[in-house]
Amino acid sequence: EKVSGRGCNMEKGSRIASLSILLSVVLSFRVSVSSAQEIDPLLYEEQLLWVSGAQGAVNTYRIPLLTYTAKGSLLAFAEGRKSSSSDVGAKFIAMRRSTDKGATWSPTSFIVDDGWQTDGLNLGSVVVDEEVGSVILIYSICFHLYHCSPSSTMMVESRDDGFTWSPPRNLSLQLGVKNFIGGPGFGIQKRYNPAKGRLVVCGHGTIEGDGVFLILSDDHGQNWYNGGGLKSVPYNQKKRAQDFNPDECQLVEMKDGSIVINVRNQNNYHCRCRMVISSQDGGLSLPIDNLFFDYTLVDPVVAAGALQKDGVLYFTNPSNEYQRVNLTLRWSLTDGKYWENKAVQIWAGPSGYSCITSLDRGSPEDRKYIFVIYEKGHKDYYETVSFAKIHLYGGR
Ligand SMILES: *[C@@H]1O[C@H](CO)[C@@H](O)[C@H](O)[C@H]1NC(C)=O
Ligand SMILES: *[C@@H]1O[C@H](CO)[C@@H](O)[C@H](O)[C@H]1NC(C)=O
């Protein structure tokens, strides 16, 4: 726009016509390649969706997930831990829903209640199947085997945009009995080949039997089977500091159809930073040759957020080697090969798990925003769950 304004003021007569044709060619090229370069994220609006200890029968809200839906709504989920902040214990799955792009949210509904289990439910992965318009939520019960066994992988599904949910289904019947916990974050439906339409969910095992494992469905979540895995070393044995121990994960699909998984480096193997592993065959395998360590993404051992939008890869985590503080948004124009130097701090203080989504229904408005949900506090990172709307172009 600036270029064309300057050019036209200086030119006269018939040359303007030919010049403007030339300029529009130059401009359309500039716009298409430079919109990614002009990314200048701005924390545009923020609101707390859950406050620990402030609402009824819940002691602590943790493990936030966020997704878009096929109808253009946003759904936020969290574990409502009933009596303490501990990972074990009885919980609800809490949900709030927004039909106006995050401006207002429904009251909390508890869509799953595990009663009073000693080692109740844990989140989990949310997956949108755009072909049938469903939202699938995968969670575990008895993941820590604390006074219970075995661990089960469970699923609930909504066919009406998150309004109502099916009764829980036990996926261990199809997957086999194994400790598996999704994400935490979102799973994907593949948009590109190989395996367009497949649902792909990443998750991890117990600390001894840890690793990143994929579960797959080629029929919209009716049947699930085990895909590729990246096992810890030594597998099924007690871990020591600096052992190789891939843990919580967030995957994204690249435009070439590959799946890239950003992974928590549980025992700080090789660096205090993120591991990255990828699959070229739609999630059937995770070859160790594809593994690398992303030294730019320093990490205090936590679940992080990632999103691929319009050819740009976004990443959120508390960017600090030792503490869960400094929630930071990074972006890459090179599919994660390099990250732009200019990172944006979302919250300087205590901050933990995060998850990113966006609406992508082709409107100019939707291209401008991404949404981040994260654990945020002043003293402890699990005091609240916050929803942040990020304008990608500095509010312009
Ligand atoms: C889920 O199915 C597995 C395999 O049959 C079984 O061992 C487990 O007890 C089931 N879990 C629940 C909660 O029903
Ligand atoms: C916050 O993150 C930025 C970007 O990674 C980094 O430069 C800065 O040192 C971090 N600050 C703290 C206190 O961790």
- How far, in Å, from the CA of 141 to the mean position of ligand 1? 10
Ligand 2 centroid, distance to 303 Cα (angstroms) = 17
Atom of ligand 2 nearest to the CA of 321: 14
Q: Which of 119, 253, 294, 375 is catalytic?
A: 375
Q: Would you place residue 360 in the very low, low, confident or very high pLDDT band (cuts 50, 70, 90)?
A: confident
How confident is the model at residue 396, as a pLDDT? 81
Rounded to an integer, what is the distance from CA 9 to the centroid of its chain?
47
Position 16: which residue type?
Answer: I
Is position 248 annotated as part of the catalytic site?
yes
pLDDT tens-digit readout, 1-14: 233 333 333 334 44
> How far, in Å, CA of 240 to CA of 228, rounded?
25
* Ligand 2, residues at Cβ distance < 6 Å: 319-320, 326, 328, 343
Give the model's confidence band at 361: pLDDT under 50 very low, under 70 low, under 90 confident, else very high.
Answer: confident
Q: Ligand 1: does its nearest atom lie under 6 Å from the Cβ of 53?
A: no
- CATH number of the domain located at residue range(s) 40-391 in this protein: 2.120.10.10
Q: Read off the pLDDT of residues 94-103 as tens digits, 9 standing for 90 and up.
A: 999 999 999 9
Mean pLDDT of the chain: 92
Give the model's pLDDT for residue 8.
35
Atom 2 of ligand 2, residue of closest alpha carbon: 319
Ligand closest to 175 (CA) is: 1
354 lines ligand 1 (CB under 6 A): no
Q: Which ligand is nearest to the CA of 154?
A: 1
Whether residue 29 is predicted with pLDDT greater than 60 in this model: the reply is: no
Q: Which ligand is nearest to the CA of 273?
A: 2
Q: Active site residue: 79, 210, 248, 294, which one?
A: 248
Taking CA atoms only, the protein residue closest to ligand 1 atom 11 is 152
Question: For residue 12, what pLDDT is reported?
Answer: 41
Closest ligand 1 atom to residue 176 Cα is 4
Which one of 272, 321, 322, 328 would you pick to mutate in the ligand 2 pocket, going by the greatest count of ligand atoms within 8 A of its CB?
328
Task: Return the structure tokens found at 378.
Answer: 């002043």
Side chain identity at residue 329, one-letter code: L
- How far apart are the C-alpha atoms of 315 and 330, rounded to whole Å? 5
Q: Report the range of poorest mean pLDDT among 19-23, 254-258, 305-309, 381-385.
A: 19-23
Give the model's confidence band at 53: pLDDT under 50 very low, under 70 low, under 90 confident, else very high: confident
245, pLDDT greater than 60? yes
CA distance 249 to 106: 28
Give the residue whose CA is nearest to atom 13 of ligand 1. Answer: 152
Q: Is 19 left (phi over 0), alpha (psi -120 to 50) or beta?
A: alpha
The answer to whether 353 is a known catalytic residue is yes
In the predicted model, is pLDDT for residue 148 greater than 70?
yes
46 is catalytic: no
Long-range contact list for 290-294, CB < 8 A, 24+ apart? 291/230, 293/265, 294/262, 294/336
AA letter at 128: V
**And the tokens for 285?**
């395998």
Q: Identify the DSSP state of 89.
A: B
Task: Name the catalytic one among 314, 353, 374, 382.
Answer: 353
Ligand 1 in contact with 172 (CB < 6 A)? yes
Residue 23 has pLDDT above 70, yes or no: no
Predicted confidence at residue 33, as pLDDT, reads: 40
Could you confirm whether 87 is annotated as catalytic?
yes
What local confidence, expressed as pLDDT, does residue 13 receive?
43
152 lines ligand 1 (CB under 6 A): yes
Beta bridge partners of 294: 274
Question: Residue 176: CB within 6 Å of ligand 1?
Answer: no
Q: 333: burial class by Cβ within 10 Å (0-12, 13-18, 19+)? A: middle
Q: Which of 117, 143, 151, 177 to mutate to test the pocket of ligand 1 (most atoms within 8 A of CB)?
A: 177
**Residue 5: predicted pLDDT:** 33
- Segments making up each domain of the chain, as ranges: 1-37, 40-391
Q: What is the DSSP letter of 171?
A: T
Active-site residue (options: 11, 46, 87, 243)? 87
